[in-house]
Amino acid sequence: MARLSPVPHDRVQIDDAFWAPRQEVNRKATLPGVFKHLKATGRYDAFKLKWKPGKPNPPHKFWDSDVAKWLEAVGFSLATHPDRKLQRLADRLIDDIEKAQQKDGYLNVHYTVVEPELRWKNLRDNHELYCAGHLMEAAVAYHDATGKRKLLDVLCRYADYIDRVFGRGKGQLRGYPGHEEIELALMKLARATGENRYAELARFFVDERGRQPHYYDIEARARGEQPDPHRGSGITAYDYNQSHLPVREQTTVEGHAVRATYLYSGMADVAMETGDKSLLKALRKLWDNCAGRRMYVTGGIGSTRFGERFTFDYDLPNESAYAETCAAIGLVFWAHRMLHLDPDGRYADVMERSLYNGVLSGVSLDGTHFFYVNPLAFHPEAAQKNPALHQRAAGGRQGWFGCACCPPNVARLIASLGGYAYSQSGTEARVHLYIRGRAKLEVAGQAVEIVQKTDYPWTEKVRLAVRPERPSTFTLSLRIPGWCRSARLRVNGKSVRLAPIVKKGYAAIRREWKRGDRVELTLPMPVERVEAHPEVRMDCGRVALTRGPVVYCLEEADNGPRLSDLVLKRGAKLTARREKDLLGDVVVIRGKALRRREDEWKSEGLYRPADSKTETVPIRAVPYSTWANRKLGEMVVWIGNGG
Amino acid sequence: MARLSPVPHDRVQIDDAFWAPRQEVNRKATLPGVFKHLKATGRYDAFKLKWKPGKPNPPHKFWDSDVAKWLEAVGFSLATHPDRKLQRLADRLIDDIEKAQQKDGYLNVHYTVVEPELRWKNLRDNHELYCAGHLMEAAVAYHDATGKRKLLDVLCRYADYIDRVFGRGKGQLRGYPGHEEIELALMKLARATGENRYAELARFFVDERGRQPHYYDIEARARGEQPDPHRGSGITAYDYNQSHLPVREQTTVEGHAVRATYLYSGMADVAMETGDKSLLKALRKLWDNCAGRRMYVTGGIGSTRFGERFTFDYDLPNESAYAETCAAIGLVFWAHRMLHLDPDGRYADVMERSLYNGVLSGVSLDGTHFFYVNPLAFHPEAAQKNPALHQRAAGGRQGWFGCACCPPNVARLIASLGGYAYSQSGTEARVHLYIRGRAKLEVAGQAVEIVQKTDYPWTEKVRLAVRPERPSTFTLSLRIPGWCRSARLRVNGKSVRLAPIVKKGYAAIRREWKRGDRVELTLPMPVERVEAHPEVRMDCGRVALTRGPVVYCLEEADNGPRLSDLVLKRGAKLTARREKDLLGDVVVIRGKALRRREDEWKSEGLYRPADSKTETVPIRAVPYSTWANRKLGEMVVWIGNGG
């Protein structure tokens, strides 16, 4: 089978009512807004290397990555929507970056002006290789978008230097990053430049990770410190940064969730490049553990703010969920790579789940405020006053964060969203995401345009026009989402039985395609009450409402307070209705629930024999991704069920 | 009305099947066991002042209090059960304490040998006055029990010195303890010695607390530090140690729960002594807030391990509950004082709730292992791997703690338990707790013996014999517990209507009493499903099982794992049954519940449309106080309801 590869986002045009407005807000509000913060906080100008010891506001060790992610997002955006002003800001920055590069190729603001003596001395805690990776990704994206090579050349020189510093040769360091990222970035750089050494270096970082003797022990001793595997974790030695075992021996997703997904993405890239089956095998195990035991229904990951990390199987607390926006994004990266390494709709199901829910919740509808953490239940007073919860969520979305990873991360993902929708090979066109618009693929040696007409995710119909340049035989594979239990297909008006042609989540339609061919996929999307695995102790007796890929929540703005006390009547009707003026045009779910009457409780009573009367109240659920765009109040995803 | 006062525990003999075995274990296992740890850790010998700078194991700043509480417990125990060996250990220790006292009267191991230069320099964080208070309590108890004055004299000298150091005079410090305790201790010392200056000093500490300019600001500046009101709290300025406002302006229970209850107990003592109505008013408000909004159904308090503190109204998470054993004990102290300051059964209801549940859970049945924190739900893996939970509970009860406040605290409470059962005045004998045994009261100018025959808390009948020396008219007040909805009373075999004579939770039987009079109180104790106030979001859709004063829980040992998924059928029968061979003889509750069938779930599934089949399973609930005495596993107090 010919190898599938993603169709780049600049070949994909999105003009739907769901994502297109988000992309426009991303271009017009988020990218300029993030720039404003980068400028105001000193990040944008830090590459001028003007900071001197004793002056205030020293460049922080991961500032470079914030700027790089914004630059990458600008690159992605310019590829589909030229913008002279953004490009000028980017070019100016790239000039500074070029000048900030040291003679030997080294490039990191903090370790050039603040702590030059610590270069490469503490890979465990510092972020040099992480920052390098983000700059490489930016360079590739900017080059792809503009054809300008300056930043790409700078990063190649940096990569060449890193390749001299790290390795198994004499005098080289056998280390690897405490915060993974450079692995996947080097793979992008290798593909962009054709330089295989970069791919080899990525593989080196993957292969060295977690080996004994442990590099972080060695470098700690070299610093005159005792090895401290518990640093940042508090739980298990070195699992915080996924170096507790060689990567091929890891079977559970552990530690800091962003680091984890970036590592697994890099592993998938290396496996794709090298055909290494042992990596694929490890990745499948890790995936099963992540998606099957450690992922929120929103596609968020990371169960605790302590270490921003995974905890253990089925441990998915709602109110104290961390579910960092960056981690959901990392899960999309990983899923997208698995989708090519091991083609199977289950990866796309998770990718879609995260995109529509746990990623998108990270940014406000107006594109200027961000969630770092994405809890699945929220109580305003608790977020402020119970210190076990993360106060980053207490005031709702924030305009900026001292640790500012999430805003530019969500910006780069939304700007490049089209790149997650299609794949292509010599014999196949594959559709992963249903989004109105058009895409230009290369299949069977020619350009094939696919035009989608749909109001997904709000309505069930997806109409596709397939337009090869000339009649040609190839396979069109359409994803049948895991959430859909009764999909139907028509090709040129004729019903086609799905069962015989669906394999691993895709309906494969092999035929001679010619201009004018029409495919109609119907994906019925009733409102579903979803239950969690019985081991998820927090969700016992509760259900989440979903419709299609969209996970819903109840907000105080619609339903008043005391959301935890609402109980859906078993079997009671839940109806979906489009509300064009609500939250930028969404489908809401309406129904009825029971709630105990609070007026019966005397003010001093706290416990009493159970005999509360209940009252029936109407409920309105809104997409989880849109919560906290109105007056901040209570929110729950998991709702009492069975009253 | 003549003032009620507690009947001292040495006048009360307990010989029931519930508490008497606990007291015996306390004497025979806990007191010697705690001694062993005090000795092994250096605490017992620390008063010899042998420690020198540079040597290991420096005496910690609150070691004195651990030893003092043990000594107080020994005093309480000797008063009812002479024990030559324990007394010898105590006397030897008292000799050391006497020698450790400095010429000026100062007495604190840490600030004598480790940091002498810091004496009285940081009342906010250090524990000098706290340790002093515990030594005073020990001195009073030991003198009461043995008649020996040595320790009492030492502590009077220390109190005299403290009275010179603190005050509003020139050169005196207007400070007060960061950890309250000395207030209630000084009141005990005043009563034991008749020295009113000690009561005045207690009042001074209470009155100064939280005034502006804030003493902790002043002393911080004197140390050359910036005032740091957030220290130890992370939330609100100085509420961690209840100094955010003058005490009379405080309306909600805040901060570190042990400190809070010790303060409120001291305030109640001062109010009792001075008749200060403004203190009583504040205490009533604080009480309503605590018992009505911030107390677990077990009588535990303190919702989070962060600051070991209260959070906010109705915020009572179960798995991450702190509910420190010492805080439940502090609540008993406070309730017991309120019961005399403001006679009302609601205080006794809370006192009983804590004693039978949240206090008693703090010690194992064999008396040698202790819970510092008393969560209301427990999952073994979560306790180890989710860092939002307190790992102090992870391994079950522990033999000892580095911060060892709880073991000797529970020991002193159990040793003095009889002292909480009765009160007396010139005109009234009052029974708060129903425990088989006998008590010698002084009422109406003569000795009155009350004999209780009952199997409380397991059976509903309480038979009391009232034996005045000679026929005499007085009131016998019997507590009608708040949990009891259909109490019945007979006097000398004749039924008495309760409604006309019950006031504020007590049935007042005024008559001429003579030897041979018999009273029979029947307190029907059906199994109750108890619900929490609808604002307690964690307990929505769940009930706790109670019977009489006893709160029950489900343990994995009886019910298998996945306790969160059990749902009691609405209206289904729950039966109570005595099991003499279980957990030292308890009444268990048996019934049936529904549980989802886990075998239907494929190993990789995490979410799916809700259609799980359930199976009916038998359940057995055991008293919460006895959990974790068998193989450690899951535990829940709040059970799904309404399947």
| Partner-chain contact A381 B315, CB within 8 Å | yes
Q: Mind telling me how many Å the CA of B243 is from chain A's nearest CA?
A: 18
pTM above 0.90, yes or no: yes
What is the residue type of B150? Answer: K
Task: Considering the candidates A137, A219, A254, A308, report the single residue annotated as catalytic.
Answer: A308
d(CA A182, CA A166): 13
Q: Kindly identify which residue of chain A lies nearest to residue B611, measuring between CA atoms.
A: A531
DSSP, res A2: P
**Which segments of chain B have a pLDDT < 50?**
232-235
A550 and chain B in contact, CB less than 8 A: no
Residues from chain A that touch B598, judged by Cβ atoms under 8 A, are 534-535
Rounded alpha-carbon distances, angstroms, from residue A618 to A297, A592, B90, B396: 24, 4, 68, 45
Q: Based on the residue annotation, tell me whether A290 is a catalytic residue of this protein.
A: no
Among A69-78, A138-147, B23-32, B391-400, the least confident range: B391-400
CA-closest candidate to residue B408, choices B21, B63, B17, B9: B63
d(CA B324, CA B304): 10
Give the count of domains, chain B: 4
pLDDT of A454 strictly over 60: yes
Q: Kindly identify which residue of chain A lies nearest to residue B642, measuring between CA atoms.
A: A643
Residues from chain B that touch A528, judged by Cβ atoms under 8 A, are 609-610
Q: Kindly identify which residue of chain B lies nearest to residue A594, measuring between CA atoms.
A: B541
Pick the residue with more confidence: B510 or A306? B510
Nearest to A609 among B304, B530, B610 (CB): B530
Strands B12-14 and B437-443, sheet pairing = antiparallel
Helices (H) and strands (E) in chain A, counts: 17, 24
Q: What residues 466-525 of chain B have any CB closer than 8 A to a CB of chain A?
A: 485
pLDDT of A83 strictly over 50: yes
Nearest to B601 among A381, A534, A563 (CB): A534
φ and ψ at B324, to 5 degrees?
-60, 140
A332 with A452, same domain: the answer is no
Nearest to B537 among A535, A537, A564 (CB): A564
In this structure, chain B runs to a length of: 643
Task: Considering the candidates B308, B352, B428, B634, report the single residue annotated as catalytic.
Answer: B308
Angle at B234 between CA A539 and CA B251, to 5 degrees: 90
What is the residue type of A351? Answer: M
Q: Mind telling me how many Å the CA of A534 is from chain B's nearest CA?
A: 6
pLDDT 10s digits, A536-565: 999 999 999 999 999 999 999 999 999 999
| Partner-chain contact B610 A387, CB within 8 Å | no
A323 with A456, same domain: the answer is no
A58 with A162, same domain: the answer is yes
B304 and chain A in contact, CB less than 8 A: yes
- CB-based burial label for A85 (10 Å; 0-12, 13-18, 19+): exposed
Task: Considering the candidates B156, B290, B405, B553, report the single residue annotated as catalytic.
Answer: B405
What is the residue type of A350? Answer: V
- Give start and end residues of each alpha helix (H) in B223-301: 257-274, 277-293
B168 with B308, same domain: the answer is no
- CB-based burial label for B405 (10 Å; 0-12, 13-18, 19+): buried
| Partner-chain contact A534 B641, CB within 8 Å | no
Q: What residues 559-578 of chain B have any CB closer than 8 A to a CB of chain A?
A: 562-565, 567
pLDDT of A228 strictly over 80: no
Q: Kindly identify which residue of chain B lies nearest to residue A306, measuring between CA atoms.
A: B387
> Taking the mean position of all CA atoms in its chain, how far away is CA A406?
10
Is residue B216 situated within a structural domain?
no
Rounded alpha-carbon distances, angstroms, from residue B95 to A507, A632, B47: 88, 63, 9
Is residue A464 situated within a structural domain?
yes
Q: Mind telling me how many Å the CA of B307 is from chain A's nearest CA?
A: 9
CA-closest candidate to residue B9, choices B527, B286, B578, B412: B412
pLDDT 10s digits, A256-269: 999 999 999 999 99
pLDDT for the residue numbered A230: 63
A358 with A416, same domain: the answer is yes
Nearest to A388 among B388, B541, B564 (CB): B388
| Partner-chain contact B534 A292, CB within 8 Å | no
| Partner-chain contact A295 B385, CB within 8 Å | no
Is residue B24 situated within a structural domain?
no
Q: What residues 443-462 of chain B have any CB closer than 8 A to a CB of chain A?
A: none
pLDDT 10s digits, A345-378: 999 999 999 999 999 999 999 999 999 999 999 9
Q: What strands, in cross-sheet order, belong to the sheet with A517-522?
A: A12-14, A437-443, A446-454, A461-468, A517-522, A488-491, A494-496
Q: Kindly identify which residue of chain B lies nearest to residue A530, measuring between CA atoms.
A: B609
pLDDT for the residue numbered A48: 97
d(CA B160, CA B164): 6
Is residue A223 situated within a structural domain?
no
Pick the residue with more confidence: A152 or B229? A152
Residue pair B606/B631 in contact (Cβ under 8 Å)? The answer is no
B598 and chain A in contact, CB less than 8 A: yes
Q: Give the model's confidence band at A234: pLDDT under 50 very low, under 70 low, under 90 confident, else very high.
A: very low
Residues from chain A that touch B252, judged by Cβ atoms under 8 A, are none
Q: Mind telling me how many Å the CA of A401 is from chain B's nearest CA?
A: 19
Nearest to A540 among B293, B311, B564 (CB): B564
A526 and chain B in contact, CB less than 8 A: no
Is residue B634 situated within a structural domain?
yes
Is residue B200 situated within a structural domain?
no
Residues from chain B that touch A569, judged by Cβ atoms under 8 A, are none
B547 and chain A in contact, CB less than 8 A: no
| Partner-chain contact A603 B562, CB within 8 Å | no
pLDDT for the residue numbered B231: 56
Nearest to B531 among A292, A528, A610 (CB): A610
A311 with A413, same domain: the answer is yes
Task: Considering the candidates A131, A405, A406, A553, report the single residue annotated as catalytic.
Answer: A405
A164 with A44, same domain: the answer is yes
Which residues 6+ apart lie within 8 Å of B490 measured at CB?
A: B496, B519, B520, B522
Would you state the structure tokens that stand for residue B354, as one six-digit string?
């804590």
CATH number at residue B468: 2.60.40
Would you state the structure tokens that stand for residue B323, as one six-digit string?
């509910």
Q: Which of A365, A386, A420 is the last residue of a domain?
A: A420
φ and ψ at B268, to 5 degrees?
-65, -40
A443 with A582, same domain: the answer is no
B435 with B542, same domain: the answer is no
Residue pair B642/A643 in contact (Cβ under 8 Å)? The answer is yes
Which residues 6+ apart lie within 8 Å of A503 measured at CB?
A: none
pLDDT 10s digits, B156-168: 999 999 999 999 9
CB atoms near residue B153 (< 10 Å) = 15
Residue pair B241/B122 in contact (Cβ under 8 Å)? The answer is no
| Partner-chain contact A643 B640, CB within 8 Å | no
Q: Mind telling me how many Å the CA of A636 is from chain B's nearest CA?
A: 11
pLDDT of A601 strictly over 90: no
Instruction: Please give the span between the terminal C-alpha atoms of chain B, in angstroms, as a whole number.
Output: 52
d(CA A66, CA A39): 11
Residues from chain B that touch A640, judged by Cβ atoms under 8 A, are 540-541
Rounded alpha-carbon distances, angstroms, from residue B530 to A479, A495, B571: 50, 58, 13
Q: Give the model's confidence band at A89: pLDDT under 50 very low, under 70 low, under 90 confident, else very high.
A: very high
d(CA A137, CA A415): 14
Residue pair B402/B61 in contact (Cβ under 8 Å)? The answer is no
Q: Which of A420, A443, A464 is the last residue of a domain?
A: A420
B415 with B460, same domain: the answer is no
Orientation angle between helical segments A84-100 and A150-165, nearest 10 degrees: 30
- CB-based burial label for A465 (10 Å; 0-12, 13-18, 19+): middle
pLDDT for the residue numbered B234: 47
Residue pair B360/B407 in contact (Cβ under 8 Å)? The answer is no
CA-closest candidate to residue A20, choices A432, A584, A518: A584
Question: Could you please report the per-residue DSSP string of A578-614?
Answer: EETTSTTSEEEEEEEEEEE-GGGS-TT--EEES---E
d(CA B93, CA B9): 24
Question: Could you please report the per-residue DSSP string of A247-300?
Answer: GGG--S--SBHHHHHHHHHHHHHHHHHH--HHHHHHHHHHHHHHHHHSB-TTS-
A344 and chain B in contact, CB less than 8 A: no
Q: Mind telling me how many Å the CA of A148 is from chain B's nearest CA?
A: 46
Which residues 6+ apart lie within 8 Å of B618 measured at CB?
A: B590, B591, B592
Residues pairing with B592 in the sheet: B618
φ and ψ at A187, to 5 degrees?
-65, -40
> Taking the mean position of all CA atoms in its chain, how far away is CA B519?
30
Residues from chain A that touch B235, judged by Cβ atoms under 8 A, are 384-385, 387
d(CA A183, CA A267): 8
d(CA B454, CA B164): 51
Is residue A209 situated within a structural domain?
no
Q: Kindly identify which residue of chain B lies nearest to residue A305, measuring between CA atoms.
A: B388
Q: Which of A365, A400, A420 is the last residue of a domain?
A: A420
- Domain containing residue A177: 31-191
Is residue A248 situated within a structural domain?
no
**Cβ-based contacts under 8 A for chains A and B:** 178
Q: Give the model's confidence band at A233: pLDDT under 50 very low, under 70 low, under 90 confident, else very high.
A: very low
d(CA B625, CA B613): 34
| Partner-chain contact A612 B382, CB within 8 Å | no
| Partner-chain contact A315 B529, CB within 8 Å | no
B117 and chain A in contact, CB less than 8 A: no
B534 and chain A in contact, CB less than 8 A: yes
Residue pair A38/A47 in contact (Cβ under 8 Å)? The answer is no
> Taking the mean position of all CA atoms in its chain, how far away is CA A333?
6
Nearest to B565 among A385, A540, A608 (CB): A540
Would you state the structure tokens that stand for residue A177, as one six-digit string?
């990053």
Would you state the structure tokens that stand for residue A64, as one six-digit string?
């470079």
φ and ψ at A23, to 5 degrees?
-70, -35
A320 and chain B in contact, CB less than 8 A: yes
B61 with B186, same domain: the answer is yes
Q: What residues 149-208 of chain A have any CB closer than 8 A to a CB of chain B?
A: none
| Partner-chain contact A388 B320, CB within 8 Å | yes
B37 with B127, same domain: the answer is yes
Residues from chain B that touch A231, judged by Cβ atoms under 8 A, are none
> Taking the mean position of all CA atoms in its chain, how far away is CA B46?
27
Q: Based on the residue annotation, tell me whether A308 is a catalytic residue of this protein.
A: yes
